[in-house]
Structure 1
Amino acid sequence: MPGAQRIGDRWRAGTGRLAAGGAVLAAVAFLPWLSGTDPALTVLRARSADQAPTPEQLTAVREQLGLDRGPLPHLLHWLGGLPRGDAGTSWVSGTPVLPEVMNALGVSVTLMLATLVVTIAVAALVSTRTLHLGARRLLREHRTGTGAALLAALPKFLLASLLATVFGVWLGWFPPGGWTGPASMVLPALALGVPSGAVIGGLLEHALPATFGEPWVRTWHAAGFPPGRIARPALRRALAGVLPQLVPSVVSLVGGAVAVEKIFNIPGLGRLALDSALAQDLPPLQTATLLLALLGVAAGLLIKTVRRGLLGPALRGGELAAAPAPALRRRRSTGRLFGACALTLCTIVLIGLFRDPSQVDTAARLLPPSLTHPLGTDALGRDMLARLGHGALRTAGVALAVTAVSAVLGVLLGMAGQAAAGLTEVVSTLPAVLAGLLTTAVTGPSVWGAACAVCLVGWTPYAAQTAALLEQERATGYLRASISFGAGPAHLLRHHLLPAVLPAVVRNALLRLPTTVLVLASLGFLGLGEQPPTPEWGRLLSENQPYLELSPWTTLGPAGALILLSVLAAAGSPVHRNTRRTPC
């Protein structure tokens, strides 16, 4: 019977992967027709930059590419050539697609591996203190995770620009751009890996105190086991719930690091997919999308295998969980930090609301901070404090709405089990930019179109986390004991499963809130989201990023506001309380 169940789970997961991959490829195939623009016109302009093509030229392009037949024949023809190793030819350059895409994939995978090293190192640094203290005394207080929140709030493209300027141009330690050797991937890997490692480390830092509060840890501690002997299985148990976050946090960088690839002029797969989508060059875009989906599936299977190896020994101690674990209390310093950050942010926003964010003064361009302009002015002479204050509610409101919707979708799909596992693996590697192009083709460029695009791909970390926590929870002895005493699905969901899942998911969502702001900003920067002159925080970063070296104060205001927001999110996250009880 268990074997039949495993086969059924694998069949449902495989069906989900095929369905998700087919849906994504079909959506990409329809992109030129969804956009409402003539694909022949876009391709012709990409070829020759001709602003006034003649009808004869457009007709010739349609006949050459067979655009009159519609998107479905193109998709079927492209799929038919894949078994022969033929991914078609580029509509723009006329060159074979497969060699170009494989070269871009090699660059992106190399960068991904370097980023993974940085991510693991940063996550280890963030969580080492909690692991060290917890191994020596059972943690009963919940850490704030402020350091992780600060690092996680660093905008990747802003960090990339800063690293390229300081270590590439000023100091000359590393190449400021290009892809010429191992030294070329140091700065991009740092720009991508430091924020991602902070997210993973923050989640692990939050999971470790709950693990050290479990009964099996107290039992081992009372039996005289040394701290190091307790720390290893505790880390394995906590890591099993956090490990699935590596798929959306790191593997997705292969397709999602478009801004960093542009800053460092890296010929990666994400940049190739974006350029192909903007030019409506379907063959390379479809090939890149397929490789990203296959990469997500392979990474998901690898992570699942590693998790099963971690869960076995870790969960044997979970069978000792028969009494309530100690609650994790919040430190007083957390409340003081929360109050200080809230007061600072509210003061900045309130002062900014009394200023005009749209007043242009060309004589006051890029002025440094002063009494008249406390945060300086931008390239058009507009007051940065005013724009920061007026953009606060819109920025926080849209990001909170997107985060809430993504978290709810992730929990619901994560509870679906293997039926949604394949969908999660496929969607986790798709860039938000590609989703933005698809939604913009239907809704037009707008902030809510960008919000829908982020929701389409933003639920995957929460779904992966929910599925991992549920799998871990269902393997514990106290849950099986509850079932043996006659507990029904509703009772298990309310008293065991949801209390084990929701605090960790909410913590994850709050830690990712600044990242959501920046993803929305990147879509607006590409013309797919918030449109100027709206004073939105992420857009302020994007607009002023070119002036980072000349006028760094233009980015300090919005970057500081995002950091304050991330600290508020970390300090204000709900305290985890273990609700496991003895079934009776």
Structure 2
Amino acid sequence: MRRQAATFVWRAALAAALVCGIGLLPWLTRTDPALTVLKARSADRDPTPEVLADIRAQLGLGDGPLRLLGQWLGGLWRGDAGRSWISGDEVTPAVLQALGASLLLMAVALVVAVVTAGLVCARTLRLGAHRRLDGRRTAGSGSAVLAALPEFLTASVLATVVGVQLGWLPALGWYGPQWTVLPALALGLPAGAVIGRLLDDLLPGAFAEPWALAAAARGLPGRSIARQAVRRCLPGLLPNLGLFVVGLTGGSVAVEQIFDIPGLGRTTLQAALAQDLPVLQAGTLLLVLLAAVAAGLAALATRRIAGPALRDGALSSLHRPQPPTRGIPTFVHGGLLTLVIALGLPRDPLALDTTRRLQPPSWTQPFGTDALGRDMLARVAHGALDTLLLALAIGIVALVAGALLGLVARVSGPLVDTVNAVPPVLAALLVTSVAGSGAATPALAVGVVAWAPLAAHTSALLRQERAALHVTATRGLGAGRWYLLRRELLPAVLPPVTRHALLRLPGIALALASLAFLGLGAQPPSPEWGLLLAENQPYAERAPWAVLAPAAVLALLGALAVSAAGGIRRARPRTSATLAERPSLTRELVETG
């Protein structure tokens, strides 16, 4: 009970710090809120001293930020989040309406994600249920390509082809259930592919456990065994599933922009751009509360599924020593990516030739040209240096930070939920406001949130690994915490978390691309991949190659990350021998403990 109370206080303190920091943002950045509000209300009106003074009097800016923040917090107890600085309307109804739209979109997208994850793991489930699984993951590179597709690109293609050209489903607006299908597909397909890869990573260990072998020996139906195997893997997935829920709600800004959905992510983004503090604070607070609810439900579900086993230390490890997958796909994908970069680097990515605008691919220009006649192969190759190196650096930092913070779940758990509630777009705006715009702004914004899923994964796996039978037995022999962490826990947890980090590498590149797509990342004439997609998006119908080239390279990066992840496996630990084979094991444990 005391631990739960401490966690609640820590979570509340983090939420209060985030909301208060947003409330003080204009003053921390030394910008004039009155000028920003005037530009948002009427961009053509001159910012005369009289006009700015009138706005300050209307908003009460003369009272200072602390008084404004205190008034806003005081109104929350009555359900009053103030009035919008831009429109003058009450904030609470507008934000709740936006939350309702986002929750509906999230629910449908989550259904799409679950179905997609099931399709990704279908072959593993079928082979495992019939005892024909060799211990390796069986999901192909198709799921990696799907996970690496930019959400905004998928949304644009669905809106243009399915919504406009074919007319099967409505493409713009938000007027009923039919309008949720296309944006839910754009959000759910990539998320489901990532969830499916994580589940596929755990299933071989579940099918190798004694209960699965006994069930198969007794002739139980394969469907029952497969269903219980999924249930066995859920405790390690539920924390990340909760993060996906929050990400689908607050991180779908680009999709909401394309489909014109009045969701919470879009509302928060517009408020952040206009520095409409009451709306921005209310939207952020709702995202934080949603993250806390999702984390609580994930913890309750984990306790219900595996609570007694976690308490009694009666689980077996899902991460056993396995042979690494063959490296042929890794060399193929890496070779193709290297070939693209090598062919494009000698070319000039900034050379203009307006006589060759939007030319299709040819022998001289294999990727065609863009709207200014620039060689797309050159721009993709030069952009790869920035995108890949930056994404790799962020991925390494996120892996180290996530693994370290995941070791202290009591501290990192609420921190993960709070950080995950901040969409990368909002993080980019906050970083830009504090540190200013520059080449490092997108990296800082993505890096602030990139470690959270890895920390949640580390904590979940450690919780299960500590309850494994061999760890319980080792602890009973007198091993100390440092010995267990170094010899038993970290060798089991780090390989799957590292594979997860590799799976996230295309997602980091996509986050950087999304910021560029929304105008918050690299600026022209930079050949960064996200900026290439944003620049050529208006010409997708006339010149699809201008969009497909960077999208295909992103998909190739996803396939490379997944194939490389297959080679990271747990080595056979030194303590895997039995007591009969190693009579000195007990003495070694006691001495090192």
TM interval, shorter chain, is over 0.9
Q: 1:471 to 1:314 in 2, by over 3 A?
A: same
Report 1:471-482 matches (<5 A): 471-482=463-474
Q: How much is the aligned-residue C-alpha RMSD, in angstroms?
A: 2.2
Q: In structure 1, what is the Cα distance between the partners aligned to 2:308 and 2:99?
A: 36
* Residue 568 of structure 2 corresponds to residue 575 of structure 1: yes
In the alignment, is the contact (CA less than 8 A) between 1:242 and 1:465 conserved in 2? Answer: yes
Decide whether the 8 Å contact of 1:179 with 1:266 is kept in 2. Answer: yes
Instruction: Give the counterpart letter for 1:125 in structure 2.
Output: L
Structure 2 CA distance for aligned equivalents of residues 306 and 120 of structure 1: 17
1:247 corresponds to 2:242? yes
Question: 2:205 maps to which residue?
Answer: 210
Which of 113, 136, 141 matches 2:136?
Answer: 141
Shift of 1:320: 7.2
Distance 1:485 1:152 in 2: 44
- SS, match of residue 167 in structure 1: helix
Shift of 1:515: 1.3
> For residue 490 of structure 1, what is the aligned residue in structure 2?
482
- Write out aligned runs for 1:51-450 (5 A): 52-137=46-131, 138-143=133-138, 145-214=140-209, 217-218=212-213, 221=216, 227-312=222-307, 319=314, 321=316, 327-332=321-326, 335-450=327-442
Q: TM-score of the superposition, structure 2-length normalised?
A: 0.92
Question: Which amino acid in 2 is paired with 1:368?
Answer: P
For residues 69 and 451 of structure 1, the distance between their equivalents in structure 2, rounded to whole angstroms, comes to 36
SS of the residue 1:355 aligns to: coil
8 Å CA contact retained: 1:145, 1:206: no
Q: Label 1:447 to 1:223 Cα distance change in 2 as closer, same or farther (>3 A).
A: farther
- Identify which range, 217-226 or 56-65, moves more after superposition: 217-226
Aligned partners of 2:123 and 2:138 also within 8 Å = no
Identity %: 53
Contact 2:284–2:421 (Cα < 8 Å) also in 1: no
- Contact map agreement 2:337 2:556 (CA 8 A) in 1: yes
My pick for the range that moved more, 294-303 or 242-251, is 242-251
Q: Flag the 1:316–1:226 CA change in 2: closer, same or farther, 3 A.
A: farther
- In 1, the alpha carbon distance for the partners of 2:420 and 2:96 equals 20
Deviation of 1:546 (Å)? 2.1
> 1:185 offset after TM fit, Å?
0.3
1:10 Cα deviation after fit: 0.9
Gapped regions of structure 1 (runs ≥ 5): 1-6
Distance in 1 (CA, whole Å) between partners of 2:498 and 2:229 is 22
Give the deviation of 1:226 after TM superposition.
Answer: 5.3
> CA separation in 2, counterparts of 1:90 and 1:394?
39
Query: Following TM superposition, by how much is the alpha carbon of 1:65 offset from its aligned partner in structure 2, in angstroms?
Result: 1.4
| Post-superposition offset of 1:190 | 0.2
Partner Cα distance (1:179, 1:520) in 2: 28
Where does residue 589 of structure 2 map in the other structure? none
Paired AA for residue 147 in structure 2: A
Tell whether the 8 Å contact from 2:435 to 2:441 is kept in structure 1 after alignment: yes
Of 412-421 and 113-122, the range deviating more from structure 2: 412-421
| TM-fit CA distance, 1:257 | 0.5
**Residue type at the aligned position of 2:340:** I
The answer to whether the 8 Å contact 2:517/2:533 transfers is: no
Deviation of residue 219 (structure 1)?
Answer: 5.5
- Distance change >3 Å, CA 317–CA 59, structure 1 → 2: closer
TM-score (norm 1): 0.94
Instruction: For residue 352 of structure 1, report the CA deviation from its aligned partner.
Output: 0.4
The counterpart of 2:545, out of the listed 544, 547, 553, is: 553
Residue type of the alignment partner of 1:575: I
Q: Indicate if the aligned counterparts of 2:120 and 2:139 stay in contact, CA closer than 8 A.
A: no
Letter in 2 for 1:436: A
Q: Deviations over 1:427-447 (max 9, x none)?
A: 222211111111111222223
Specify the SS of the correspondent of 1:329: coil
Separation of aligned partners in 1, 2:520 and 2:180: 29
Which range is displaced more, 61-70 or 368-377?
61-70
Aligned residues between the structures: 575
Cα 1:226/1:327, change in 2 over 3 Å: farther
Instruction: Please name the residue that 1:4 is paired with.
Output: none
**Offset, 1:129:** 1.0
State the shift of 1:164 in Å: 0.5
1:11 aligns with 2:10: no
Instruction: Work out whether residues 112 and 185 of structure 2, in 8 Å CA contact, stay in contact via their aligned partners in 1.
Output: yes
| 1:223, distance to aligned residue in structure 2 (A) | 6.4
Tell me the residue number matched to 1:38.
Answer: 32
Aligned partners of 2:520 and 2:555: how far apart in 1?
A: 25
Once the 2 structures are TM-superposed, how far is the Cα of residue 396 of structure 1 from its aligned partner?
Answer: 0.6
Contact 2:14 2:418 in 1 (8 A): yes
Partner of 1:3: none
Q: What is the CA distance between 1:536 and its match in structure 2?
A: 1.2
- Indicate conservation of the 8 Å contact 2:471/2:488, yes or no: yes
Name which of structure 1's ranges 39-48 and 368-377 shifts more when overlaid on structure 2: 368-377
Cα distance in 2, alignment partners of residues 97 and 107 from structure 1: 16
Shift of 1:291: 0.6
Structure 1 residues 155 and 233, CA gap change in structure 2 (3 angstroms): same
- 1:325 and 1:177, CA in 2 relative to 1: closer, same or farther beyond 3 A? closer
**AA paired with 2:85?**
W
What SS is found at the alignment partner of 1:505? Answer: helix
- How far did residue 217 of structure 1 move? 4.1
Q: Deviations over 1:333-358 (max 9, x none)?
A: xx222222122111111110010001
Higher relative CO (Cα under 8 Å, sequence separation at least 6) belongs to: 1
How far apart, in 1, do the equivalents of 2:65 and 2:519 lie?
A: 25
Q: List per-residue Cα deviations over 1:36-77 (Å, max 9, x = no partner).
A: 431111101111113531111111112221223332222111
Q: Aligned in 2, Cα 1:413/1:456: closer, same or farther, shift over 3 Å?
A: same
Tell me how far 1:412 sits from its aligned partner. Answer: 1.8
1:534 matched residue in structure 2:
526
Shift of 1:459: 1.6
Distance in 1 (alpha carbons) for counterparts of 2:264 and 2:347:
43
TM-superposed deviation, 1:500: 2.2
| C-alpha separation in 2, matches of 1:307 and 1:353 | 50
